[in-house]
């Protein structure tokens, strides 16, 4: 039986790309969720997605929210908690990679400025997940904990800062206006694309690494695994649509960037490219929301070999990795969590609203097995 069958599921960014494909999978599934809560910044596209869901016999509700805004994330959480009586699955998928030379920034309600990828990929996830955790806890039943699924990326494992510290991140730097772009480290595999015209890949990758570290701490130190579990899922390199088309259009075919996109996408329509389409990319999220994954939490779940043909089954998707490899220490994960918590507290204080009441629930000895591989 599908884990999602008869349950209430919330999805961010369900109006295009991977999340829209995930919604489409559920509308065609034999075992459907009871209700889908849809969160996106585009009200017209939200209504279109809602109509598709309801035509499939699934209840639906919509909430307009630009997740790059901390204020909108917190306000939306307040609204959802008041309006929705239950929530069993939270899919945090909304995110973006901005590929241009100019640094994009976001200013929150307190006046603090954050690097764009930090705000939309990491901070929004932390605010939404923490804010909706009490509802997830309340909706859990004995033997069937609620589940948080975060759309991560294998690029998070490619951050090197400094070069002597593999897969690490400088917490004093990330998330600021001065955050490094792809040229941040001469020894990082992420620096090479900078020479070819791909910008901000390092900042994007840092935001994904922060997701993984935050989730590791949240699963190990905050959540009760009998009530709520969390998985970080890698959908693979996915061709998302208009943004990617824009990036290619901005790169002449004779340029290094244009040549690379041509090489990677030449066999796209035939499943022979390293780039997956949204339907193929959503498969890993589909597995994460429908399969048991019993006893698994705080894990990074691989989507399969990065350079395999897209048409393959994406094995070994079931292999789970403790993303805290090497120098990802427990203290580093805790520091990432505390950084997001401090920003949340400042914004809440500015808005005059109370932060989410998420209790710290230390694991008992028996819960340690929740971190085991399955």
CA–CA separation, 261 and 267 (whole Å): 11
Q: Which residues neighbour 117 within 8 Å (Cβ) at sequence distance 6 or greater? A: 96, 97, 98, 104, 200, 203, 204, 206, 207
CB 285 within 8 A of CB 149: yes
Residues 6+ apart with CB under 8 A from 173: 161, 179, 180
- Say if CB 207 and CB 188 are below 8 A apart: no
Sign for the CA dihedral angle at 275, 279, 282, 283 comes to: negative
Provide the 10 A C-beta neighbour count for residue 233: 26
Q: Residue 234: how many CB atoms within 10 A of its CB?
A: 27
The confidence score (pLDDT) of residue 255 equals 53
DSSP structure string for 215-254:
HHHIIIII--TTTEEEEEE---SB--SHHHHHHHHTS-TT
Rg (the chain; Cα; Å): 20
Task: Give how many domains the chain has, as a whole number.
Answer: 1
Contacts of 64 (CB under 8 A, 6+ apart): 40, 41, 42, 43, 46
Say whether 12 sits in a helix, a strand or coil: strand
Please indicate, yes or no, if residue 30 is contained in any of the structural domains. Answer: yes
CB 126 within 8 A of CB 318: no
Q: Does residue 218 lie within any of the structural domains?
A: yes
Domain annotation covers residue 252: no
What pTM, to 2 d.p., does this model score?
0.82
Provide the residue range defining the domain that includes 49. 8-238+276-371
Handedness of CA 123, 127, 130, 136 (dihedral sign): negative
Under 8 Å between Cβ of 69 and 108: yes
248: left (phi over 0), alpha (psi -120 to 50) or beta: alpha
Per-residue pLDDT of the chain (374 residues; tens, 9 = 90+): 899 999 999 999 999 989 999 999 999 999 999 999 999 999 999 999 999 999 999 999 999 999 989 999 999 999 999 999 999 999 999 877 766 555 678 888 888 888 888 889 999 999 999 999 999 999 999 999 999 999 988 777 665 443 333 334 455 554 443 333 333 343 444 444 554 555 667 778 788 888 888 998 999 889 999 999 999 888 877 765 434 444 444 544 445 555 555 555 555 444 445 567 788 888 889 989 999 888 888 887 776 544 333 333 333 344 444 443 333 456 678 888 888 999 999 999 999 988 877 655 544 434 433 332 22
Structure tokens at 79: 């609204």
Q: Are 149 and 90 in contact (CB under 8 A)?
A: yes
Return the ∠ at Cα 331 (arms to 330 and 335), rounded to 5°.
120
| CATH, residue 73 | 3.40.50.720
The pair of structure tokens assigned to 172 is 């004093």
**Residue 243 domain-assigned?**
no
Condensed to tens digits (0 to 9), the pLDDT of residues 171-210 reads: 555 444 333 333 334 344 444 455 455 566 777 878 888 8
Question: How many other β-carbons are positioned within 10 Å of the β-carbon of residue 307?
Answer: 10
Is residue 224 within 8 A of residue 217, CB to CB? The reply is no
Alpha-helix residue ranges (DSSP H) falling in 152-200:
none
């Amino acid at each position: 039986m599908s884990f999602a069958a008869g349950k209430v599921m919330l999805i961010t960014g369900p109006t295009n790309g991977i999340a829209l494909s995930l919604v489409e999978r559920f509308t065609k599934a034999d075992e459907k969720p009871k209700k889908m809560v849809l969160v996106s910044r585009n009200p017209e596209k939200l209504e279109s997605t809602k109509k598709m869901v309801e035509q499939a016999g699934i209840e639906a509700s919509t909430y307009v929210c630009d997740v790059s805004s901390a204020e909108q994330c917190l306000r939306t959480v307040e609204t959802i908690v008041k309006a929705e009586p239950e929530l069993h699955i939270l899919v945090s998928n909304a995110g973006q990679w901005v590929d241009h030379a100019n640094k994009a920034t976001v200013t929150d309600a307190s006046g603090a400025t954050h690097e764009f990828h930090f705000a939309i990929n990491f901070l929004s996830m932390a605010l939404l997940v923490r804010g909706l955790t009490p509802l997830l806890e309340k909706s859990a039943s004995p033997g069937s904990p609620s589940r948080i699924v975060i759309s991560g990326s294998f690029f998070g494992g490619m951050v090197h800062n400094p070069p002597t510290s593999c897969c690490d991140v400088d917490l004093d730097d990330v998330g600021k206006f001065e955050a490094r772009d792809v040229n941040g480290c001469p020894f990082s595999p992420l620096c090479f694309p900078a020479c070819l015209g791909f910008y901000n890949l390092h900042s994007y990758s840092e935001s994904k690494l922060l997701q993984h570290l935050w989730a590791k701490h949240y699963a190990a130190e905050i959540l009760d695994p009998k009530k709520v579990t969390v998985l970080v899922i890698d959908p693979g390199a996915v061709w998302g649509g208009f943004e990617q088309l824009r990036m290619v259009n901005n790169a002449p075919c004779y340029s290094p960037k244009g040549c690379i996109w041509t090489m990677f996408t030449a066999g796209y329509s035939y499943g022979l490219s390293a780039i997956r389409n949204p339907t193929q990319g959503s498969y890993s999220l589909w597995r994460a929301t429908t399969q048991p994954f019993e006893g698994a939490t705080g894990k990074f779940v691989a989507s399969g070999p990065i350079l395999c043909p897209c048409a393959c089954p994406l094995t070994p998707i079931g292999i789970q990795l403790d993303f805290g490899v090497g120098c990802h220490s427990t203290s580093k994960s805790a520091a990432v969590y505390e950084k997001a918590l401090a920003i949340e507290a400042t914004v809440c204080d500015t808005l005059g609203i109370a932060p989410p009441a998420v209790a710290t629930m230390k694991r008992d000895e028996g819960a340690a097995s929740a971190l085991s591989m399955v």
